[in-house]
Amino acid sequence: MLNDSLLPVSAHAYASACRGASRPACVVRITAVHGSVPRATDASLVVDAQGFGGTIGGGHLELEAIRLAREKLSADASFPADERRFPLGPSLGQCCGGAVELRFSPLADADLPALAALEPPRRAVWLYGAGHVARAIVYALLPLPFEIHWVETRDEMLPEGPFPPHVVLHHTDDAAAEARQAPAGACHLVMTHSHAIDFDIVQAVLARGDAGYCGLIGSATKRTTFERRLAARGIADDRIAAMVCPIGIADLPGKRPEVIAVAVAAQLLGWSLHDR
């Protein structure tokens, strides 16, 4: 089911592939910015004769950087590093108005840690259930900075893959036990085939009190029912109030799985950024 061929390839991932295959490549780094520009100094690009990974903001600037990188590689794979300034005006067909300074250098093993450090850290998302909505959510989260732990009690429901490295499958007979073992600060999305299993998972998450987010798929009526049952089990009022149900930002109406997935991905991304 899952195919990562359409996912953006990061500069670090592409650099690792080039080094693993002994393919010469060029690292393009933004070293300075002036005025209005599409990306800052956290952006990088790795280019070889076959393709590229990462981005410095797209547009004609990126096309010109790729052209120059390949020109350097074709002349000498161990070319001397150099730096160039690019005004983002009419000469590049862009109207940002600022300027960027790019450094071009041959890819070396020593570049890999620095490229990895530019990538945003992945936050742990524990997703319980593998129905239509859950699958749509996995697709929506794939290109975002999350590590997805996909939990399902029914082995036949989880797709065979292939899976990107940041999607981890958990086949289990006890989904609530998985919730109890998840790392502190993780996000939990609960949407199994059973309200009873949903309740056990939510209770386990809220009883811990250290989750960054606890989302439960369902209606306002389901929320009211769960609130009453959780209170009867001794879960504190403030923890119950922190449960998100219904899930997803409210500005996107519709109940199609793909619409819910976009709404949930936006909500999780906002939570992740504000929680840092």
The CATH number linked to 256 is 3.40.50.720
10 Å CB burial of residue 237 (0-12, 13-18, 19+) is exposed
* Average confidence score pLDDT of the chain: 91
Task: Please list the residues that pair with 44 across neighbouring strands.
Answer: 29, 55
pLDDT digits 0-9 by tens, 27-86: 999 999 998 888 999 999 999 999 999 999 888 899 999 999 999 999 999 999 999 999
Is 167 a residue whose pLDDT tops 90?
yes
With cut-offs at 50, 70 and 90, classify the pLDDT of residue 273: confident
Please report the pLDDT score of residue 85 as a whole number: 93
Asked which of 93, 118, 143 is the last residue of a domain, the reply is 118
Rounded Cα distance between 47 and 55, Å, is 10
Tokens 């992740």 correspond to what residue?
A: 272
The secondary structure of 136-155, three-state, reads HHHHHHCCCCEEEEEEECCH
Is 4 a residue whose pLDDT tops 60?
no
Query: Does residue 190 share a domain with residue 95?
Result: no
Query: Does residue 65 share a domain with residue 94?
Result: yes
Query: Does residue 233 share a domain with residue 127?
Result: yes
Please report the pLDDT score of residue 168 as a whole number: 94
pLDDT digits 0-9 by tens, 251-263: 887 889 999 999 9
Is 274 a residue whose pLDDT tops 80?
no
Is 192 a residue whose pLDDT tops 90?
yes
Query: Does residue 108 share a domain with residue 50?
Result: yes
Number of domains in the chain: 2
Q: Tell me the average pLDDT across 125-130.
A: 97
**Alpha-carbon torsion 132, 135, 137, 143, what sign?**
negative
Task: Tell me the pTM.
Answer: 0.83
Query: Does residue 138 share a domain with residue 103?
Result: no
Query: Does residue 236 share a domain with residue 208?
Result: yes
Rounded Cα distance between 275 and 186, Å, is 11
C-beta of residue 21 within 8 angstroms of C-beta of residue 27:
no
Query: Does residue 171 share a domain with residue 91?
Result: no
Query: Does residue 139 share a domain with residue 36?
Result: no
Residues 6+ apart with CB under 8 A from 26: 46, 47, 48, 69, 70, 72, 73, 79, 104, 105, 106, 107
**183 half-sphere exposure, CB direction, 13 A CA radius:** 9
C-beta of residue 261 within 8 angstroms of C-beta of residue 125:
no
DSSP 3-state assignment of 85? strand
Query: Does residue 156 share a domain with residue 249?
Result: yes
Query: Does residue 169 share a domain with residue 110?
Result: no
Please report the pLDDT score of residue 1 as a whole number: 46
CA-to-CA dists, residue 145 to 142, 212, 231, 250, 276, angstroms: 8, 15, 34, 22, 13
Query: Does residue 159 share a domain with residue 203?
Result: yes
Strand runs labelled E in the chain: 26-34, 44-47, 52-55, 82-87, 99-106, 123-128, 146-152, 167-171, 187-190, 213-216
Q: Tell me the average pLDDT across 174-190.
A: 96
Tokens 């071009």 correspond to what residue?
A: 104
Q: At CA 269, angle to CA 124 and CA 36, rounded to 5?
A: 130
pLDDT digits 0-9 by tens, 103-127: 999 999 999 999 999 988 899 999 9
User: Rounded to a whole number, what is the distance in angstroms from the first to the last CA of the chain?
Assistant: 32
- Residue ranges making up the domain that contains 195: 123-274
C-beta of residue 50 within 8 angstroms of C-beta of residue 17:
no
Is 93 a residue whose pLDDT tops 90?
no
Asked which of 83, 118, 153 is the last residue of a domain, the reply is 118
Q: Is 22 left (phi over 0), alpha (psi -120 to 50) or beta?
A: left
